[in-house]
């Protein structure tokens, strides 16, 4: 035996030295009492009482953790010479650090290792332990899975800082600093999210074969940790998805990271095909909203290689159809076609798209007609790097356009290795049109719906489409949408259009009860017909299993607002913006009713500037509101909306004439939007038109718009306060809001949207 090696430590017989580090020496030893080999880690003796007491406190806590991926500690003790030691399982295998010396690790194996590390961290954090020194050398790979070492014990050493960091001379290989979180470097408070930062860095290194942060000196590495972002992961179809998880885990601000190890593990499970990493059951991960989508995709409008009036509509409609087919998958977040249209061009700026649209992957394409065939060439690119993930050229007869959409959809799913549930696979493969001509009509109508002046044409085309193919559910859903917006903003009979819309949505859901577009679009009709609470509950129910469905949360913005749950409405909007920064919602009106005028003014989603006009009037800036109205009013396609804008401006200047023209036109029409009626009643109250205001409020509250908190404080309504009819309406609104709040809570709204709802108004 080596004369410098002790023969025994405590009751353990020392066999050989296994390694040595800044904290102490590790020996192989034998436990004669239980007749088993163990690892014995000694901690260098310290005369500082505080450090020894802290060691004992944390060592006892660490020894209490029992988990398949945590190396078990058998005993914590102190030898006669004052040496502190830990007796633990003697492991077979190698450290992750040694494995990485041989190069990068394949995606599936890296995800498994990361999942098992997170499983162990989840157990540690549950006991309020933070590892503090998570790095490849502390992750041991055994034939039976990962074992995590040295948890809860590593800390900077006042007596030997260079040994603790693993640096002895400039230019030597760096150790711990590469895996420190910024809060460790700057001396701020740490918690479990500090360990997640290190876990993200290890995952990055496993897949890339290189450390995320590197340098020749400790100071260079620490500077990189605090200030730099690692290059994006590349080279595999899963790289964009994993890179998204790594970037969230390694956010500089702990508040921007995953909240828990379970949340991060859940994001990796999605990428791995929803196969649960060893040691972390699906039940452990819960169903919260913190999970990360596997990839964020933008399908840009396609570019026409030659101008062709007959097929120009496909430049928008074909990629839009692909986006719609993929929307709602839990493994993918798809940007709305309208929110990415501005990024299209002959040479898209990939860095700008990645930054502003917040996406990982972009599909670009070109269209070319060759005789009676259409050729589509697409490229699936990782952004911002521009790495080509897949390219494909498809060709189909002009009469078989769905073939192209279907092929492109499945190519994306395959190229990104999206893990689809059976429900999701059915979603992608469902709704096949029976009539090719009907599908072409459907695509043409979809393009026309982008232009309010052509809604009437779109409505007629949707009718023609369902007449040719009455079992194509998406066409019925879009017919319902067209009829609804025409009923609200058009000149035709509202009652007839509303019946058309209601019947179309019902037919769409009969054909496909899981059609997301039908549920979302129907919600808008529901709220305008006084069924906001039912729409809210239905959408919350779907949100439990559809975390990345942007349109679903857009529907919740309006449904919650009509229920009077303004904080929840704003929270739903925040979900939309996290999923798709460019998506439009109706949140401007939520901010209006919250009296957050400045926030309302920042919302430029409405081309008619109606919300801006209302916010300026409410904020006491009528001259600016009037100037805005003068530049936009003639561009408004709806006669009723033109009357409304002129009427609201008139109310701010005390001019009853134009305002009464507006209310007279509203009464003669079938216009019946409860939210618009509330806004009209405000103007009437301000002008002293008490009877008009009360009639409008009565129709608004009975119609299902119950913003009781706004009714209680809006200064424009002050002339009505004390009037028995107003007080009755306010009481009714409060009662309806209270009932809606009860249903919101019972449906898990707080957990789904991450916000509460204020108490009674």
d(CA 449, CA 478): 9
d(CA 394, CA 374): 8
d(CA 207, CA 238): 10
β pairing state of 303-304 and 296-299: unpaired
d(CA 160, CA 166): 10
d(CA 142, CA 92): 6
Residues 305 and 367 sit within 8 Å (Cβ to Cβ): yes
Packed helices 532-543 and 516-528: angle between N→C axes, nearest 10 degrees: 160
Q: What tokens does 121 get?
A: 């961290």
Q: 3-class secondary structure for 676-741?
A: HHHHHHHHHHHCCCHHHHHHHHHHHHHCCCCCHHHHHHCHHHHHHCCCHHHHHHHHHHHHHHHHHH
673 is catalytic: no
Report the candidate in 151, 210, 201 with the shortest Cα–Cα distance to residue 177: 201
Residues 413 and 428 sit within 8 Å (Cβ to Cβ): yes
Residues 90 and 28 sit within 8 Å (Cβ to Cβ): yes
Catalytic residue among 31, 133, 243, 469: 133
Residue 566: CB partners within 8 Å, gap ≥ 6?
560, 590, 593, 594, 707, 709, 710
* DSSP tag of 270: H
Q: Which residues pair with 333 in a beta bridge?
A: 296
β pairing state of 296-299 and 361-370: parallel
Q: So which residues are the catalytic ones?
A: 133
């Amino acid at each position: 035996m080596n004369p410098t090696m002790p023969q025994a430590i405590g009751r353990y017989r020392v066999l050989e030295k296994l390694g040595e580090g800044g904290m102490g020496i590790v020996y192989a030893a034998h436990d004669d009492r239980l007749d088993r080999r163990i690892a014995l880690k000694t901690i260098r003796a310290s005369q500082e009482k505080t450090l020894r007491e802290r060691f004992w406190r944390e060592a006892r806590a660490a020894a209490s953790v029992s988990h398949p991926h945590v190396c078990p500690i058998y005993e914590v003790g102190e030898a006669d010479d004052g040496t502190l030691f830990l007796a633990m399982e003697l492991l077979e295998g190698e450290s992750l650090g040694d494995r990485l010396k041989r190069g990068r690790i394949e995606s599936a194996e890296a995800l498994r290792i990361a999942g098992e590390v997170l499983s162990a961290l989840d157990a540690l954090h549950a006991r309020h332990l933070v590892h503090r020194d998570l790095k490849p050398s502390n992750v041991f790979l055994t034939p039976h899975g990962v074992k995590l070492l040295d948890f809860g014990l590593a800390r900077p050493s006042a007596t030997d800082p260079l040994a603790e960091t693993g640096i002895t001379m400039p230019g030597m290989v760096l150790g711990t600093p590469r895996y420190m979180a910024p809060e460790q470097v700057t001396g701020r408070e740490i918690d479990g999210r500090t360990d997640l930062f290190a876990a993200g860095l290890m995952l990055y290194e496993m897949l890339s074969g290189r450390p995320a942060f590197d340098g020749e000196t400790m100071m260079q590495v620490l500077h990189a940790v605090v200030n730099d972002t690692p290059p994006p992961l590349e080279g595999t179809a899963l790289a964009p998805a994993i890179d998204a998880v790594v970037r969230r885990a390694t956010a500089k601000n702990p508040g921007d990271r995953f909240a828990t190890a379970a949340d991060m593990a859940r994001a990796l499970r999605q990428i791995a095909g929803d196969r649960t990493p060893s040691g972390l059951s699906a039940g452990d991960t819960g169903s919260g909203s913190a999970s990360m989508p596997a990839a964020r995709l933008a399908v840009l409008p396609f570019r026409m290689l030659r101008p062709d009036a007959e097929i120009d509509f496909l430049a928008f409609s074909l990629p839009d159809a692909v986006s719609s087919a993929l929307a709602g998958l839990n493994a993918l977040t798809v940007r709305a076609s309208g929110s990415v249209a501005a990024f299209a061009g002959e040479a898209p700026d990939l860095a700008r798209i990645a930054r502003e649209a917040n996406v990982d992957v972009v599909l670009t394409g070109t269209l070319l007609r060759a005789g009676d065939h259409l050729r589509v060439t697409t490229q699936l690119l990782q952004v911002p790097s521009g790495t080509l993930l897949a390219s494909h050229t498809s060709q189909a007869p002009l009469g078989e356009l769905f073939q192209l959409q279907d092929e492109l959809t499945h190519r994306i799913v395959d190229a990104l290795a999206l893990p689809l549930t059976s429900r999701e696979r059915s979603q992608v493969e469902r709704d096949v049109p029976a009539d090719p001509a009907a599908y072409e009509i459907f695509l043409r109508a979809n393009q026309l719906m982008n232009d309010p002046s052509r809604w009437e044409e779109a409505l007629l085309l949707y009718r023609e489409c369902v007449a040719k193919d009455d079992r194509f559910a998406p066409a019925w859903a879009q017919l319902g949408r067209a009829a609804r917006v025409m009923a609200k903003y058009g000149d035709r009979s509202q009652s007839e259009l509303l019946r058309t819309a209601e019947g179309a949505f019902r037919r769409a859901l009969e054909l496909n009860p899981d059609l997301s577009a039908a549920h979302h679009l129907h919600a808008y009709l529901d709220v305008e017909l006084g069924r906001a609470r039912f729409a809210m509950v239905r959408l919350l129910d779907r949100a439990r299993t559809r975390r990345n469905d942007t349109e679903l949360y857009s529907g919740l913005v309006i449904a919650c607002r009509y229920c009077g749950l303004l904080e929840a409405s704003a929270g739903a909007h925040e979900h939309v913006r996290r999923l798709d920064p460019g998506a439009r919602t109706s949140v401007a009106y939520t901010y209006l009713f919250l009296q957050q005028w400045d926030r309302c003014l920042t919302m430029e989603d409405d081309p008619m500037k109606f919300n801006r006009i209302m916010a300026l009037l409410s904020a006491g800036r009528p001259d600016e509101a009037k100037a805005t109205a003068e530049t936009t009013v003639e561009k408004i396609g709806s006669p009723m909306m033109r009357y409304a804008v002129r009427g609201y401006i008139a109310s701010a200047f005390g001019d009853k004439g134009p305002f009464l023209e507006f209310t007279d036109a509203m009464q003669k029409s079938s216009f019946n939007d409860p939210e618009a009626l509330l806004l009209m009643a405000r103007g009437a109250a301000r002008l002293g038109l008490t009877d008009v205001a009360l009639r409008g409020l009565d129709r608004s509250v009975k119609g299902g718009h119950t913003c009781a908190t706004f009714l209680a404080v809006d200064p424009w309504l002050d002339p009505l306060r004390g009037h028995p009819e107003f007080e009755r309406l306010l009481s009714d609104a409060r009662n309806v809001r209270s009932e809606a709040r009860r249903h919101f809570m019972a449906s898990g709204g707080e957990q789904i949207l991450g916000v509460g709802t204020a108490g009674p108004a």
